Structure 1
Amino acid sequence: MRLSPTRRPVLLIPLAFLVVSLIGTGLLALPIATAEPGGAPMITALFTAVSAVCVTGLIVQDTAVYWSFFGQVVILILFQIGGLGIMSGATLLGLVVKKHLQLSSRLVAQQETQSLGLGDVAGILKLIILVTIGVEAALALILSAHLHLVYDEPLRTAIWNGVFHAVSAFNNAGFSTYSDSLMRFVTDPVVLLPMMFALILGGLGFPVLHELRPGQRHKPRTVHFKITVWGSAFLLASGALAILAYEWNNPSTMGDLEPGGKLLSALFHSATARTAGFNTLDVGEMEPQTLAVNYWLMFIGGGSAGTAGGIKVTTFFLLFFFIWAEIRGDTDTVAFGRRIASPLQRQAMTVVSLGFATVGVGTITLLSMTPFEFGEVLFEAISAFATVGLTTGITDQLPPSGQLVIIALMFIGRVGTTTFAASLALRSTTKHYRYPEERPIVG
C-alpha cells in the first residue's frame, strides 16, 4: 500500500524543500530578477535557488552584480525559509491557525528538533521565531550603522547590506552582496565578531538554545547540549589554531596581517568553515594542509536542528564515544555520566557512512566531468554536501552537468541523510525471532 506524506511525515521534508526550490527557480528566472536584460538561464536560476534554500552559498554568478534588487530579495527569502526549516515554519503556522499541534505535525517538527520530546515542540517553535528575529534585527542594526558611518555607504545601501548579511549569517547561508564576500573586512572586528556570534548561535541548534532559556538555566543539561557546546568549542579552537599554524606566513592569505588580524581571521574562518560559507581569506590560495583541515570542519558541520549542515557535531562525537568504548572493551557507551542508547550507534554510523559515500560518488562524478585537480573537486563536493558554500574558485567554471551534480549534493546534504536517520528511528521494530549467530573476522 502506498503511504501518503501525512502518514510518513519525514517525506514532507525533502518534498517541501523541493517545492520551495522550484518556486525560487521560477522567480529567479524572471527578467526582473537580473540586473541585465534577458533574465537568467534556467540552470543558473535553479543552482542559485537550491543553494539559497539549502543555505549553502555556492554561486555561479556574482550575487552583487548579476542579480537585481528583486533577485537579491528572492534569494534572501529563500535562505531565510531554508534556515528556519520548512517543517518548523509549517508547524508554527499550524499553531497559529489551529491553536494546537496534530501528532503528525509534531513528528515532522521533531525532525528539525531531534533532541526534544513531543511536548516541547510548541515552545521550541516559538523560540525559533523570537531568537531569529532578535538576533537578525540586532546584527542588522550593528552592521548597517557601521557600514554607513565607517565605510561611508549611502544609508539605504548600508541598511540593505546590513539586513542581507544579518539574515545570511544567522541562517549560515554564506550569500553576500559584496563580490569579495567579507574579504574587505578581514581585520574589522565590528563586522566579523557579531557575524561570527550570529552564525555560531544559528549553527548550535534550537534544542541547545531551548536549554539556555532563563527558566531552564538551573536544570541539568542534557548530553546533547554538552556534546554540542563542548564539541563546537573544541572544533572552533582547534580549527583556528591549525589555520594560524599553516597560514601564518602565507602572503596570499594572512601573511601580511598583524597578529591581531591573523587571530581574528583564523577564528572567523574556523567558524565559517563549519557551514556558514563567508570568507575573509582567499581559500584558493590556502596551503594544502589548511584545505585538509577545512575538509573535516566542513564535513562535521554544526549542531543538530539548527541552520548548519554537515553530519552534525553530535553524530561525530557520539561515534568517537562509541569507538572509545569499543577500544576499552566496555559493554556500555558512556558520555558525561550517561549511557548512550545502542540504536544511536547504528544511526550515527549510518549517517557518517552515507556522508562519506555521497561525497565520494560526487567527487568521482565531478572528476570525470571537469579538468580540475582532485583536491579542488573534493573541496567543492564536501562544501556542497555540508552546505558550507566555500570554494577554491571553480564553482562558476563547472559545466552544466557539473552544476547539476553540485545541486544534487546540496539537496542531499540538506535533507537526505537527516531524513534517512529520522526514518531509521521511525522504522525501528522488534522482531520476534533471531537468526543463528556467526562471527566474521573484522580487521
Structure 2
Amino acid sequence: MAMAVPKLRFSPPQILAIGYATMVLIGTLLLMLPAANQVGQPLPLIDAFFTATSAVCVTGLVIVDTGTFFNAFGQTVIMVLIQVGGLGFMTMATLFALVFQRRISLRDRLVLQEAMNQGSVEGIVRLIRRVLYYSLTIEAVGALIFTLRLAFEMPIHRAFYFGVFHSISFFNNAGFDIFGGFSSLTHYTDDPVMILTSIMLIVLGGLGFIVLSDLADLRHKKKLSLHSKVVLSTTGILILLGTIVILLFEWSNPGTLGRFGVGGKFWGALLQSVSPRTAGVNSVDLTALHQATQFLILILMFIGASPGSTAGGIKTTTFAVTIGAMIAMMRGRQDVVFFRQRIGRERILKALTIILLGLGLVIGVAMVLSAIDNHDFMLILFETMSAFGTVGLSLGLTPELSTFGKILIALTMFAGRVGLLTLVYALKPKKGPEKFRNPEGKIIIG
C-alpha cells in the first residue's frame, strides 16, 4: 500500500519569499548565458546572482556596467526582472490569470493581501487591476517623454529603447541605467525634461498603489483616506527639506552643484532629494558630495518610500508614526493623532519593530563587512544602507567587494525588498494563540 505524500502548505509570507528567490534564480541563470553580454563569455555566478538580485529587488547596485557590458538580450532580462520585481510576482501572476480568465483562489488573494500590505482580501483583485493599469499607463507616458527628448541625440529606435528601459527602471525605483560608464543622469543635471520626468516616475512609483487609487477616486469621494494624507504630507515634507538641505550644503561645491547655474543647482538638489527614497538615480557625482550631504542621503535611504509601492526602506508611514509617538510622549499625550484620527497601539509597536529590525540589520551587516573588507566605514555603511533601502546609490564600493561581501549585500537587498517582518513571519514556526497574559510589571524608562 503506497504511503500518502504530505502536501506542503506554505503561508503567504513564505510564498512571497520563495517567489522572489525563484525569480532571482531564473534571472541568475539567464544573465550567466554568454548570449546575454557583449563579451560572449559566461558571467561569473556571483556577479550574475548579484545583478539578478539587484534587479528583482529593484535596487540598482551593480558590479558591471549595465549599459556597456550587457547586450540587448541581457538588458531586456534585467528590464523584465525589474518589472516583475517592482510590481510583484503575484501581481504579474494575477495579470496572466485575468488574461486567461482563470479563477483567483482565496489562497491567492491572501498572498496578494500580504504582498500589497492590505488589512483584508476585500477588493484586492480590483486593486491589482488598478495597479496594472496605473503602472503601465505611467510607464508608457514616461517612455514617450524620454523617447521624444532622447531622439534629439540618438536614432529614434534607440531613443525608444532607452525610453522604455529607463521609464520601467525609474518607475519601479530600480535605478538601473544604460547610458554607460555608471553615469546615470550626470549628463542631464540641468536638463529639466529628463530630471522632471525622472522625478515624476520615481515619486509616482514610490507613493504606493493605494495612494494612487485614492487620488484617482478623489473626484468622486471628495476626500482622501488617512493613509494617503500621511503618505502625501510626509513625502512632501521629506522632498522639500531634503532639497533645501542639499542646496545649502552643495551650493558652492565645485564637484557637484557649484558648477551649475541656479536652475541646474535646483534640479540637481531636487533629484538627489527624491532619489534616495528609493530610486538610486543620481545627477551629480556622489563621491564629491560633502559628508554631511552623504549622511543626509543615508537617512533618506533608510526611510524609503511608502507601503504598497515599488520602493523599499522602513517606509514613510513607519517614520511618521514613530515621530508622532515621540511628539505625543513629549507633550504628555496618550494618543498619536494624525488629521484628527488616532493611531492604534499595535501599529505604533509595528512601526517601532520595523525600525529596530532595520537598524539591527544595517548595523550588523556593516560591522561584518568592515571586518572582512578593508574599506572606509562610510563607504561600507552607505552601500549597506543602499542595499537595505533597495536604493542603488553607491560611492563606488560595489565592484570592489569580496565574494562574501557581494553575497552579504545581495542578501540585504533581498531582505529589504521582501520586507523584514515578512521574512520573520516566513521563518518563524507556527504557534497557537496565547492562552494567558502575564501580570503587568513596571520598569523605569529613560
TM class by shorter chain equals: over 0.9
Query: What is the root-mean-square deviation in Å for CA atoms of aligned residues?
Result: 2.2
Amino acid at match of 1:274: R
> 2:179 aligned with 1:141, yes or no?
no
Q: Counterpart of 2:63?
A: 60
Q: Give the conservation status (yes or no) of the 8 Å contact 1:301–1:312.
A: yes
Q: Which moved more, 1:370-379 or 1:427-436?
A: 427-436
Identify if the C-alpha distance between structure 1 residues 86 and 6 changes in structure 2 by more than 3 Å, giving closer, same or farther: farther
Identify if the C-alpha distance between structure 1 residues 83 and 223 changes in structure 2 by more than 3 Å, giving closer, same or farther: same
- SS for the counterpart of 1:339 is strand
Matches within 5 A, 1:135-174: 135-149=138-152, 151=153, 153-174=154-175
Identify if the C-alpha distance between structure 1 residues 428 and 117 changes in structure 2 by more than 3 Å, giving closer, same or farther: farther
Q: CA deviation at 1:220?
A: 3.2
Amino acid at match of 1:157: R
Q: Counterpart of 1:354?
A: 357
Q: How much identity, in percent, do the aligned residues show?
A: 38
Q: Counterpart of 2:228?
A: 225
- SS for the counterpart of 1:334 is strand
Q: CA deviation at 1:422?
A: 6.8
* CA–CA separation in structure 2 for the residues paired with 1:430 and 1:12: 22
* CA–CA separation in structure 2 for the residues paired with 1:67 and 1:19: 22
* CA–CA separation in structure 1 for the residues paired with 2:122 and 2:437: 35
Q: Counterpart of 2:3?
A: none
Instruction: Work out the number of aligned pairs and report it.
Output: 440
Q: CA deviation at 1:214?
A: 3.8
> 2:340 aligned with 1:313, yes or no?
no
Q: Counterpart of 1:395?
A: 398
Amino acid at match of 1:399: S
Question: Structure 2: any 5+ residue segments left out of the alignment?
Answer: 1-5
* CA–CA separation in structure 2 for the residues paired with 1:333 and 1:272: 29
Q: Counterpart of 1:336?
A: 339
Identify if the C-alpha distance between structure 1 residues 336 and 69 changes in structure 2 by more than 3 Å, giving closer, same or farther: same
Q: Which moved more, 1:26-35 or 1:139-148?
A: 139-148
Matches within 5 A, 1:124-135: 124-135=127-138
* CA–CA separation in structure 2 for the residues paired with 1:82 and 1:88: 10
* CA–CA separation in structure 2 for the residues paired with 1:116 and 1:126: 18
Cα deviation, 1:1-41, whole Å, max 9, x if unaligned, reads xx977551111111100000000000000000110121211
Identify if the C-alpha distance between structure 1 residues 346 and 212 changes in structure 2 by more than 3 Å, giving closer, same or farther: same
Q: Counterpart of 1:382?
A: 385
Q: Could you tell me the TM-score, scaled by structure 2's length?
A: 0.94
Amino acid at match of 1:370: D
Q: Give the conservation status (yes or no) of the 8 Å contact 1:6–1:104.
A: no
Q: Give the conservation status (yes or no) of the 8 Å contact 1:204–1:303.
A: yes
Q: CA deviation at 1:96?
A: 4.3
> 2:39 aligned with 1:36, yes or no?
yes
Q: Counterpart of 2:185?
A: 182
Q: Give the conservation status (yes or no) of the 8 Å contact 1:91–1:106.
A: no
Amino acid at match of 1:164: F
* CA–CA separation in structure 2 for the residues paired with 1:358 and 1:293: 19
- SS for the counterpart of 1:260 is helix
Q: Counterpart of 1:239?
A: 242
Q: Give the conservation status (yes or no) of the 8 Å contact 2:12–2:114.
A: no
> 2:291 aligned with 1:288, yes or no?
yes
